[in-house]
Amino acid sequence: MDSREGLTPDAASVAEAEEPPCPDCSAPPSLLPAIRTFLLGDVELKRCARCGCRYPLGPAQGGALSRCTVCGLPCVAVLQSAGEAPRCDACRGEGETTSRPGTPLAEATEHEIRSALESRWRFLDSPSSSVYFDKVLRALARRMEGAPASCRVAIFDDKALRTLALPSGTLLLSQGTMDELDDEAQLAFVLAHDLAHVAAGDAASATLRLGMGAMAREDLAHQNEAWGDASEDLVRLGHGRAREVVADERALDVVLGAGYDPGSVVRYLQHLELLEDRGDARVAELALAHPPPRDRLMRLERQLSVRATSGAGGRVNREVFRRAAGRHAETVEETALSGLLLRDGDRGKREGDAEVGGSPGGVPRWLYALILAALAALVLALAGLFRP
């Protein structure tokens, strides 16, 4: 793997001197830059490299990032006492609701996100590479309960390590993520982790809730921007510690079942830990969205010990992966996300939908319009709660 630039020692010292320690364990701040999200406005977030607590800087200092048990949106709250359910300011006093959106609503939500990302991210395509990525992903999906059969991979041009799982099983990976992977075994772990969020319904719930929260802060004339902001927030905030831990566990089970080398997965997490320790800004969002690599490694090693599996053995397919994943891959070109999702057999299906009055995502046009109308009405009803 190529070495990357991080913060200089002088810059790191200045950053550490200006930032408070972790409010949970009092550890000094990490060298990674703080991350600002659309959902939380001007609040900047950091994750403690020791205990994993995500805490805000600035005026909201002293609290920690939680997930409201009513609306499901991330929020900054005072550190909760044992057994106390976190609530955002708009939902205090309300009962809990953790329902998973139905398929039509999830598909309509994904359509909005895809449309928003078309203008935000530059997507890359290479016919041979695309076939390879999709083949790896679908082989993993067959081993994961609840995963969709027609899932696929789309690569976008970004140096940062970023991934986004959409409810349909479309996984968006940055080229920066690909650059930091050594082999197919590591790719399989990254894909299986995000696929686990899809299979568990995390992706559907998070995209809907963050999208609704973003739209409630914007007027309806800017809804495309709001969905784009929600997508960016999902990349930065992840799905919460508990869901990320479960996704790691399911990913490792699938990787082992597919015959990949778990030692390569260990090396990948060790590499992430090294990048974080260096203060490499390219992993800042990844670090905020997931538990610290050290914690992930400990859990992975425990999982391997229970299965009586050593941290080595199995296939890695290094050379075939490097040919497909590199920027030098043959005929790599910029393309639209919609074009990527129309390749292979999916093209015929979508063309058939268009002929019978279908809409993107396979939802009938009349039902799609009804869903969007309901979303708009709900946004207007919630706007008073979410606006500052």
- Which tens digits make up the pLDDT trace of 249-288? 999 999 999 999 999 999 999 999 999 999 999 999 999 9
- Together in a domain, 114 and 79: no
The more confidently predicted of residues 176 and 67 is 176
Q: Which of 91-100, 175-184, 220-229, 321-330 has the lowest mean pLDDT?
A: 91-100
- Together in a domain, 109 and 63: no
Most confident of 57-61, 342-346, 373-377: 57-61
Q: What is the pLDDT of residue 4?
A: 40
Average pLDDT of the chain is 80
Q: Is 327 within a domain?
A: yes
Q: Is 2 within a domain?
A: no
Q: Is 97 within a domain?
A: no
Q: Which residue among 30, 57, 91 closes a domain?
A: 91
154, burial (CB in 10 Å: exposed 0-12, middle 13-18, buried 19+):
buried
pLDDT at 33 over 90: yes
Best CA proximity match to 210, nearest among 341, 333, 113: 113
Q: Is 153 within a domain?
A: yes
Contact present, 137 and 154 (Cβ < 8 Å) = no
- Together in a domain, 83 and 127: no
Q: What is the pLDDT of residue 211?
A: 80
pLDDT tens track for 342-364: 665 444 343 333 333 344 444 45
Query: 3-state class of 287 per DSSP?
Result: helix
Q: Is 359 within a domain?
A: yes
Mean pLDDT of the 210-226 span: 73
Q: What is the pLDDT of residue 218?
A: 62
- Together in a domain, 195 and 266: yes
- Together in a domain, 210 and 281: yes
pLDDT at 382 over 60: no
pLDDT at 318 over 60: yes
- Together in a domain, 326 and 249: yes
Q: Which residue among 91, 126, 151 closes a domain?
A: 91
Give CA separation, 18 vs 8, 31, 72, 301, 317, in Å: 16, 12, 32, 36, 45
Best CA proximity match to 212, nearest among 233, 238, 194: 233
Rounded to an integer, what distance in angstroms lies between the CA atom of residue 55 and that of residue 78? 10
Mean pLDDT of the 360-374 span: 54
- Together in a domain, 302 and 174: yes
Q: What is the pLDDT of residue 16?
A: 46
- Together in a domain, 124 and 250: yes
Rounded to an integer, what distance in angstroms lies between the CA atom of residue 341 and that of residue 147? 18
Mean pLDDT of the 184-213 span: 92
Q: What is the pLDDT of residue 360?
A: 44
- Together in a domain, 108 and 69: no
Q: What is the pLDDT of residue 274?
A: 97
Q: For the chain, how many structural domains are there in total? A: 2
Best CA proximity match to 44, nearest among 26, 24, 27, 29: 29
The more confidently predicted of residues 224 and 315 is 315
- Together in a domain, 129 and 62: no
Q: Residue 73: CB partners within 8 Å, gap ≥ 6?
A: 39, 67, 88, 209, 210, 213
Q: Which residue among 63, 91, 119 closes a domain?
A: 91
Share of the chain above pLDDT 90, in %: 44
How many other C-beta atoms can be found within 10 angstroms of the C-beta atom of residue 90? 18
Q: Which of 133-147, 156-170, 352-366 has the lowest mean pLDDT?
A: 352-366
Mean pLDDT of the 219-225 span: 69
Range of the domain at 264: 103-386
pLDDT at 296 over 90: yes
The more confidently predicted of residues 81 and 234 is 234
pLDDT band at 160 (very low <50, low <70, confident <90, very high): very high
Q: Is 339 within a domain?
A: yes
pLDDT tens track for 96-108: 444 566 677 778 8
- Together in a domain, 40 and 86: yes
pLDDT band at 377 (very low <50, low <70, confident <90, very high): low
Contact present, 133 and 153 (Cβ < 8 Å) = yes
- Together in a domain, 58 and 147: no
Q: What is the pLDDT of residue 100?
A: 61
pLDDT at 235 over 70: yes
Q: Is 164 within a domain?
A: yes
Q: Is 4 within a domain?
A: no
Instruction: Return the structure tokens found at 10.
Output: 């002088």
Mean pLDDT of the 219-237 span: 82
Q: What is the pLDDT of residue 193?
A: 98
Contact present, 282 and 4 (Cβ < 8 Å) = yes
